[in-house]
């Protein structure tokens, strides 16, 4: 049992028994939860498209996991998920409560360098979920950080600059930026290497 899960207010979202990871189910859940947030829904659809493009950077057995995480990574912004106000943790806790696999919940909790943001904001609770720091973690981060706020393609540097400008130089986002940005650039480099065919001998 995840600490704090009993306090969650999931509103009218019905629990879903998920035996395995099905991207269409993830899309459907994200669509219903984010109906109130059309820009966030468009962004999530864009991240899912980008994740599909990057799926060659993860093992074939993990491709549906990556796609599900892409669809669901930002559901913590939905009213039904709101608890701590820290969207990666709120989204992960909601997914856990709804019965989604632990690995998916953990990927959502830690997506796109959430640990740096949590530390800057003084948020505790992310340790409820293990950070697998895997090829899937990297591909999810790159898919998220190369998709703009309305789902449009963007470069990582454009996305970092846009977010920094939006939050402001004195924000907690800016506080985390100096550690989070190098982490995301390293993830992008690893994804690039994984997508680059080995030279013929
Ligand atoms: Fe996102």
pLDDT of residue 124: 94
User: pLDDT tens across 41-97, in order?
Assistant: 999 999 999 999 999 999 999 999 999 999 999 999 999 999 999 999 999 999 999
pLDDT score at 19? 58
Contact indicator for 160, 146 with CB cutoff of 8 Å = no
Domain boundaries, the chain: 21-195
pLDDT-based confidence at 201, cuts 50/70/90?
confident
Q: Is-contact 139 55, C-beta < 8 A?
A: yes
Across residues 170-198, what is the average pLDDT? 95
What's the CA-to-centroid distance between 144 and ligand 1, angstroms?
5
Token duo for residue 84: 């701590």
Region 6-20: mean pLDDT is: 50
What's residue 2's pLDDT? Answer: 42
- Which residues make beta-bridge pairs with 100? none
CA 30-115-32 angle, 5° bins = 10
The model's pLDDT over 87-131, given as tens digits with 9 standing for 90+, comes to: 999 999 999 999 999 999 999 999 999 999 999 999 999 999 999
Distance 40 CA to ligand 1 centre (A): 8
Distance in Å from the first CA to the final CA of the chain? 51
Say if CB 144 and CB 77 are below 8 A apart: no
State which fold the 21-195 domain adopts.
Hypothetical protein af1432 (1.10.3210)
Q: Name the band, by pLDDT with cuts 50, 70 and 90, for residue 4.
A: very low
Percent of the chain with pLDDT over 90: 85
Whether the Cβ atoms of residue 132 and residue 27 lie closer than 8 Å to each other:
no
Gap from CA of 73 to ligand 1 centroid (Å)? 6
Give 193 Cα–ligand 1 centroid separation in angstroms: 23
Which comes out higher in pLDDT, residue 21 or 152?
152
SS3 state of residue 153: strand
Distance 199 CA to ligand 1 centre (A): 34
Give 201 Cα–ligand 1 centroid separation in angstroms: 40
CB 138 within 8 Å of CB 187: yes
Residue 1 has pLDDT above 90, yes or no: no
Mean pLDDT, all residues of the chain: 91
Q: Residue 144 pLDDT more than 70?
A: yes
49, 160, 77, 147: which is closest to 113 by C-alpha? 160
């Amino acid at each position: 049992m995840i600490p704090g899960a009993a306090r969650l207010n999931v509103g009218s979202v019905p629990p879903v028994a998920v035996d395995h990871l099905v991207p269409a189910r993830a899309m459907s859940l994200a669509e219903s939860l984010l109906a109130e947030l059309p820009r966030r829904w468009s962004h999530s659809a864009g991240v899912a498209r980008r994740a599909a493009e990057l799926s060659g950077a993860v093992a074939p057995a993990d491709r549906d996991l990556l796609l599900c995480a892409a669809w669901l990574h930002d559901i913590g912004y939905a009213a039904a998920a709101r608890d701590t106000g820290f969207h990666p943790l709120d989204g992960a806790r909601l997914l856990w409560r709804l019965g989604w696999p632990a690995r998916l919940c953990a990927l959502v909790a830690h997506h796109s360098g959430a640990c740096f943001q949590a530390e800057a904001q003084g948020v505790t609770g992310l340790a409820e979920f293990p950070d697998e720091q895997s090829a899937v973690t990297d591909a999810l981060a790159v898919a998220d950080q190369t998709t703009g706020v309305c789902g449009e393609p963007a470069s990582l540097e454009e996305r970092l600059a846009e977010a920094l400008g939006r939050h402001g130089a004195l924000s907690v986002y800016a506080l985390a930026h100096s550690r989070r940005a190098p982490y995301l650039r390293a993830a992008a480099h690893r994804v690039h290497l994984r997508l680059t065919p080995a030279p013929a001998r």
